[in-house]
Amino acid sequence: MKMRTLGRNGPTVSALGLGCMGMSDFYGPADRTESIATLHSALEAGVTLLDTGDFYGMGHNELLIREALAGLPPSRSDAAIISVKFGALRDPAGGWHGYDSRPAAVRNFVAYSLQRLGVDHIDIYRPARLDPQVPIEETIGAIADLVKEGYVRQIGLSELGAASIRRAASVHPISDLQIEYSLVSRGIEEAILPTCRSLGIGVTAYGVLSRGLISGHWQAGAKTNDFRAVSPRFQGANVAHNLALVEALRVTAEQRSVTVAQLAIAWVAAQGADIVPLVGARKRDRLAEALGSVDLELSADDLAAIERTVPKGAVAGERYASAQMSQLDSEKGAG
């Protein structure tokens, strides 16, 4: 497994990370046995970065990771670097009720995560979104106190705009920004990515396959009961337009004897050594496909061909529904 360092002062992690969200939430029922087997396969393949959130399945995801790690020898489980997002408020029906990033709430959230994960520290801890009621400096300051106390090793960010990133970094060194980045989600390139690079902050890129849209597996007319049912990119004329882009990309992939998913993941990784793609594989076969992207080196000609096939801005539809887009600090101007 190739390795990359998150930011100027962050940890060294595998060049591909595993996003564990879908094993507990948002994509319909998941097979627990297969999820644990996928986690084991990832760690055995050298994947060290596991990304979760305390609100994924209301704690289910953290407990799942704990169970998976408990079934491995210490030499393997100790290699895992766990990244945890916090702050989202849920209800028993799975609804959403905003965010809470007050210092007291930060300490409460981390206490529960430590217990569910069965660890004495969290490797990377990050607010899931900007809490509009709490200055980011206060939230980061609270996590910085946890770093001093040994409960957290590194501080990360998620979906922040350039101005908020700078404010956060003024309080404590930041390892990485977790944000959506893919061939069809390139909004970070204008201001956010340059800001991260100027501050020595790495990027962990989620949504590299745009929720499966550009995986090469999604089919026209496919029905879903998960959150993609309201995702703009999967609606009506949008999905037809977007799948046409995927089919054009498939031609380029076949010329390299790789899959569309592998090409799309490799494109993200090729945008800089400071970027680590996160893949949300829930099954071992999808994980194996994603792992095939790690050794895929894209030439300048390959990158130019991909750019011609899927130019910036070519996708139809926003990456989230309008209500969710309005909550993203990363979407509120260049900052």
Q: Return the pLDDT at 26.
A: 78
Spans of the chain, pLDDT less than 70: 221, 223, 225-227, 229, 321, 333-335
Between CA 56 and CA 280 the distance in angstroms is: 13
Positive or negative: CA dihedral 137, 142, 145, 149: negative
| Contact indicator for 219, 246 with CB cutoff of 8 Å | no
Please, which residues bridge with residue 3 across strands? Answer: 14
Q: What is the chain's Cα-based Rg?
A: 19
Question: Is 309 a domain residue?
Answer: no
pLDDT at 229: 67
DSSP state of 270: T
**330 in a structural domain:** no
Helix (H, G, I), strand (E, B) or coil at 288: helix
Closest CA to 19 of 45, 44, 42, 46: 42
pLDDT in tens, 297-325: 999 999 999 999 999 988 877 887 677 77
Beta-sheet pairing, 122-127 with 202-206: unpaired
Q: Residue 326: its pLDDT value, please?
A: 74
Single-letter residue type at 259:
T
Sign, CA dihedral 165-185-99-67, equals: negative
| pLDDT at site 334 | 45
**20-52 confidence digits (pLDDT tens):** 999 998 787 889 999 999 999 999 999 999 999
In a domain, 333, yes or no: no
CB 140 within 8 A of CB 168: yes
Nearest to 39 by CA among 14, 59, 2, 66: 66
3-state secondary structure of 215: coil
Q: Based on the structure, what is the number of domains in the chain?
A: 1
Q: Which residue has the tokens 């209301």?
A: 58
Confirm whether 226 is domain-assigned.
no
Which helix (H) or strand (E) covers residue 77, if one does?
A: helix 74-77
The CATH number of the domain holding residue 52 is 3.20.20.100
State the angle between helix axes of 162-169 and 136-149 in degrees (0 to 180), rounded to the nearest 10. Answer: 40
d(CA 280, CA 227): 15
CA 13 to chain centre: 14
- Please give the pLDDT value at position 193: 97
Domain-embedded: residue 140? yes
Residues 6+ apart with CB under 8 A from 222: none
Which are the contacts of 6, defined by CB distance < 8 A and separation ≥ 6?
12, 13, 124, 154, 175, 176, 202, 204, 274, 276
Strand blocks (E) in 35-79? 49-53
Tell me the residue range of the domain where 75 lies: 3-212+260-298
Shortest CA distance to 47 belongs to which of 105, 97, 92, 3? 3
End-to-end CA distance of the chain: 36
Query: Is residue 312 one of the residues assigned to a domain?
Result: no
In the set 56, 181, 206, 320, the catalytic residue is 56
- Indicate the pTM of the whole model: 0.92
Query: Does residue 181 have an active-site annotation?
Result: no
Q: Is residue 169, in this structure, part of any structural domain at all?
A: yes
Residue at 278 is within a domain: yes
Q: Please report the pLDDT score of residue 39 as a whole number.
A: 97
Tell me if 253 sits within 8 A of 216, measured CB to CB: yes
Helices marked H in the chain — which ranges?
A: 32-44, 60-70, 74-77, 103-117, 136-149, 162-169, 192-199, 236-255, 260-269, 284-291, 300-309, 322-325
